[in-house]
């Protein structure tokens, strides 16, 4: 049986990595719009797009470490 903290950590890491991949793909697609000029995104939105995947991956690492320490 797999431990619940490992399932939670794997889910958070997968969501973070998936969000990062989708973000990279979407931003590359936006470069081609507007005759090669690109597309302007609000800096607040861009900040959330950058921070959210890394926050999810960091949360997965914390969940894994805390879960591992509590099981010792």
72 residues of the chain, pLDDT tens digit each: 578 899 999 999 999 999 999 888 887 777 776 666 666 777 787 788 889 999 999 999 999 999 988 876
How many domains is the chain built from? 1
pLDDT of residue 59: 96
pLDDT of residue 38: 64
- Is 12:60 a contact under the CB 8 Å cutoff? yes
Domain that holds residue 50: 4-70
Length of the chain: 72
* Cα–Cα distance, 7 to 54 (Å, whole number): 18
- Is 54:16 a contact under the CB 8 Å cutoff? yes
- pTM (predicted TM-score): 0.76
pLDDT of residue 16: 94
pLDDT of residue 66: 94
């Amino acid at each position: 049986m797999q431990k619940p903290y490992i399932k939670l950590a794997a889910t958070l890491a997968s969501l973070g990595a998936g969000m990062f991949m989708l973000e990279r793909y979407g931003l590359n697609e936006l470069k081609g719009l507007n005759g090669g000029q690109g597309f302007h995104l609000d800096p607040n939105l861009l900040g959330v797009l950058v921070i959210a995947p890394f926050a999810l991956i960091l949360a997965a690492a914390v969940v894994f470490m805390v879960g591992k320490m509590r099981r010792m």
